[in-house]
Amino acid sequence: MERICLFPGTFDPITNGHVDVIQRALALFDKLIIGIGINSTKQPMFSVEQRVAWIDAIFANEPKISVVGYSGLTVDYCRQIGAKSILRGIRYISDFEYEKAIADMNRMLAPDIETIFLTCSPLYSTISSTLVRDVIRNGGDASLFLPEQIKL
């Protein structure tokens, strides 16, 4: 049975921290689907199409990775694609508290789908998409925090 995992998020934009978690997760799964959650209540800085294109470029040479946009409940999308695991990256204990609440809810909705937490490498623990967007909005150079394929 193929081990399929969904890594959901907004990835607005994808950061070096996300890439670190994705690269380390590859050894754990046969297929890793990066799912860009489409939430009508959020106004992202970058379009879903732009985020998909960046992620495709970053992982162009990795056949185990694909990227899609999806909406609705994450566990419902997991069922659609046959994923039995959800990957979440953790930087700090506050991330864990938030992510555990979501994982518990998902477990009640879909007991057959497991959430896997990977901690971020210390080098990337302070990087968040929110902070990167602030740097970009204010005209700063965000290239230190972003994969080289993202040219702003």
Catalytic residues: 18, 42, 91, 129
Q: Tell me the β-bridge partners of 90.
A: 119
State the sign of the Cα–Cα–Cα–Cα dihedral 128, 130, 133, 137: negative
Measured distance CA(150)–CA(36) in Å, rounded: 16
| Distance, CA of 38 to chain centre | 12
Cβ neighbours for 65, distance < 8 A, ≥ 6 positions apart? 22, 26, 31, 32, 33, 34, 55, 59
Collapsing DSSP to helix, strand or coil, 60 comes out as coil
Burial environment of residue 78 by CB neighbours within 10 A (0 to 12, 13 to 18, 19 or more): buried
